[in-house]
Amino acid sequence: MSEINRQWVLTSHPTGMPSVENFKMVEGEMPAIGEGQVLARSIYLSLDPYMRGRISAAANYAAGVGIDDCMHGGAVAEIVASNHPDYQVGDIVENINFGWQDYAALNVDLGNGKKLHKVDKSLGPIHSAIGYLGMPGLTAYLALRDIGQPKTGDTVVISAASGAVGQIAGQIAKIKGARPVAVASSQDKLDYCASLGYEAGINYRDTADLDAAMKETCPDGVDVFFDNTAGPIHDAVMKNLAPFSRIIICGTISLAGKFEEPDMGQRFMRQVLVARAKMQGFLIFDYGEEDIIEARQQLASWAKEGKLQHKEDIKQGFEKMPESFIDMLTSKNFGKLMVQTRDDPTV
């Protein structure tokens, strides 16, 4: 086993759109593990929009990444040493707090009754544990179950529709009998969404009047809005709400270049009042193990039945982390973005 642990650390908090210059790769010693911990080596490192908030100096819902600290992020990894009887060398695990590094010392007991997640290879390929069976898929399932509550005939608009969360959310809406509408950044992405069952789509980068396009595409208004982006897409939907609509605030990636600025966009109190709409923020971290197990099993079942497709955008090589992260913030990825750091031992 190598004695060197490569890490990507944050060198400066960005103002505006982040760049690769905000990060640097360093080499350090192998982490030591204590009682109840395991040492795991990364196979797939996850890249997700929430990471933009973690590198901001502004307050966020979780602690940010400090200067010269290892960048935060999830991973699918293989245990290479263990100080816990229930976790063996060779086991595959998933952990959201792994970080952008080769090796991490992980606690088995995560608190609140949660344990380090062992990846069940019978449910799907191991990289799905950070994709449709991981945070993105769980987010889509639980946010729609508890906030969106789509029903037959509802129009469900989903921004970043071909992304990690959006591609799953649209298919769940379709399974529930609703009419999913995709909003994405290219015709290729809209074509992919159509193959998933989205019934209509809007290319926001090729649309001169987004408000008019939303009204034309959703003539009876929007019943459920799964907002992964904020920004102009959010504004267009808020002007076209159906009575008793439900709005899920899940992500704000369109503000990646404005994260440190005050949130001073349009206000839609009148639209919310007239529509009697409900708006709620969603964080997967609020959920316990029982909900996570339900969501993961249902998503795996749909996938095996052919009702749920998924697309991954897998980059090769640990050195690709910062540039891949910037690509995601600028919509250059296609599907769930991750970086493979070494050969997958299960393939």
Identify the pLDDT of residue 53. Answer: 87
CB-based contact 7:80 (threshold 8 Å): no
Range of the domain at 227: 135-284
* Positive or negative: CA dihedral 278, 284, 286, 290: positive
Give pLDDT, residue 111: 83
Encode pLDDT of 321-330 as tens digits. Answer: 999 999 999 9
Over residues 192-230, the pLDDT tens digits come to 999 999 999 999 999 999 999 999 999 999 999 999 999
Indicate whether 189 pLDDT > 80: yes
The answer to whether residue 74 sits within a structural domain is yes
Q: Is the per-residue pLDDT at 153 higher than 70?
A: yes
Q: Considering the chain, what is the average pLDDT of its residues?
A: 94
Instruction: Provide the pairing of β-strand 92-95 with 179-184.
Output: unpaired
pLDDT of 60: 63
For residue 266, is pLDDT > 90? no
Bridge partner residues of 247 (DSSP): 225, 279
23 domain residue, yes or no: yes
Stretch 106-130: mean pLDDT: 93
Question: What end-to-end distance do the CA atoms of the chain give, in Å?
Answer: 21
Closest CA to 121 of 86, 93, 150: 93
Q: CATH code at 333?
A: 3.90.180.10
Residue 71 CA to residue 322 CA, distance in Å, equals 10
Q: Which residue has the higher pLDDT, 296 or 263?
A: 296
Q: Is residue 124 domain-shared with residue 152, that is, in the same domain?
A: no
One domain, residues 139 and 280: yes
pLDDT of residue 61: 63
Q: Which residue has the higher pLDDT, 84 or 15?
A: 84
User: Which domain CATH number covers 235?
Assistant: 3.40.50.720
